[in-house]
Amino acid sequence: MDLSRDTELRALAARLDDLALRAAKGDVGITPFLSPRELHMAREYLSRNGAAFASFGGYADAERQRVYLLPEYMEEISSDEARDDFENKMSEYGYSLNISLLKISGSGYRQLTHRDFLGSVLGLGIERSVVGDIVVLDGGREAAVFCDGAISDFIAGELLFVANDKVKVTRVALGSLLLPEKRTLPIHDTVAAPRLDAVVAAICSLSRERARETVVSGLVELDFEAEERPDRAVNAPAVISVRGFGRYRVLSLCDKTRKGRYRLEAEKYI
């Protein structure tokens, strides 16, 4: 997809172009925290344009991440192998990730939700783009908040309550908190063809006709884009979101059975 033709993402394309020019001059260009949809499109756009980049959100499984456009002399750290140690690699070149980690601790008398934490943080007048993932910990008594380094002191000093619970905010080092692994449910099935309606039918346990109606009704996203074509080919890896059913990741869809059906390996985020 050409980002320039997508009204919603036109500004992102322009920002990426500006940051690419910065990288071409020998500096690192850093985006705000991007949503999963924006991140997917940014990766496609930059890859198609041959840019050296890496993305990171403060921890391995982050959904909201920043994209780092790298100058030529730093291209080596754009590889997947380098991303496990991305913070140190950036530091070796004299750059900061510009990501801070805050721990928000409640009083313990009530369970707080992701919505509670996010609403209270944004209620300080902060834009969503400077806040990354918020991971709820200890059954809702605490949360880990990844944010832009420039805003961390403001949040730590101004955030006094989440919902109606008094909280304490402390700044901690990246990697210092034990974050829960994202849980998934494996799905193994076969489909007659690698079409979107067939895959949706399999992962959501729907009839083929019901799956087709779900796609046509605009309730399905393929790689974070609304897709209303039931015959759209699904190429693994891919992320499929179905309103009312959840988000899925297609891991493999290529091998055929003796009967000519395609083996589907997927997982549902739970």
Domain of 238 in residue numbering reads as 184-269
The answer to whether the beta carbons of residues 55 and 43 sit under 8 Å apart is yes
Tens of pLDDT, residues 39-88 = 988 999 999 999 999 999 999 889 999 999 999 999 999 876 556 688 89
In a domain, 178, yes or no: no
**Is the same domain home to 77 and 119?**
no
Res 85: pLDDT = 84
Q: Are strands 225-226 and 29-30 parallel, antiparallel or unpaired?
A: unpaired
The pTM score is 0.84
Total number of residues shown for the chain: 270
**Is the same domain home to 78 and 120?**
no
In a domain, 177, yes or no: no
**Is the same domain home to 137 and 72?**
no
Q: Which of 182 and 74 is assigned the larger pLDDT?
A: 74
In whole angstroms, how large is the CA radius of gyration of the chain? 21
In a domain, 31, yes or no: yes
Q: Which of 136, 151, 172 is the last residue of a domain?
A: 172
Tens of pLDDT, residues 212-234 = 999 999 999 998 888 999 999 99
In a domain, 116, yes or no: yes
Q: What CATH number is associated with residue 37?
A: 3.30.1370.160
The answer to whether the beta carbons of residues 234 and 240 sit under 8 Å apart is yes
DSSP string, 6-31: -GGGHHHHHHHHHHHHHHHTTS-EE-
* Cα 95 to Cα 97: distance, rounded to the nearest angstrom: 7
Tens of pLDDT, residues 158-168 = 999 999 999 99
Tens of pLDDT, residues 108-123 = 888 999 999 999 999 9
In a domain, 115, yes or no: yes
The answer to whether the beta carbons of residues 159 and 124 sit under 8 Å apart is yes
In a domain, 9, yes or no: yes
Q: Which of 172, 200, 230 is the last residue of a domain?
A: 172
Q: What CATH number is associated with residue 159?
A: 3.30.70.330
**Is the same domain home to 74 and 15?**
yes
pLDDT at residue 189 greater than cutoff 80: yes
* Cα 12 to Cα 4: distance, rounded to the nearest angstrom: 9
Q: What is the mean pLDDT of the chain?
A: 92
Say how many domains are in the chain: 3
**Is the same domain home to 81 and 56?**
yes
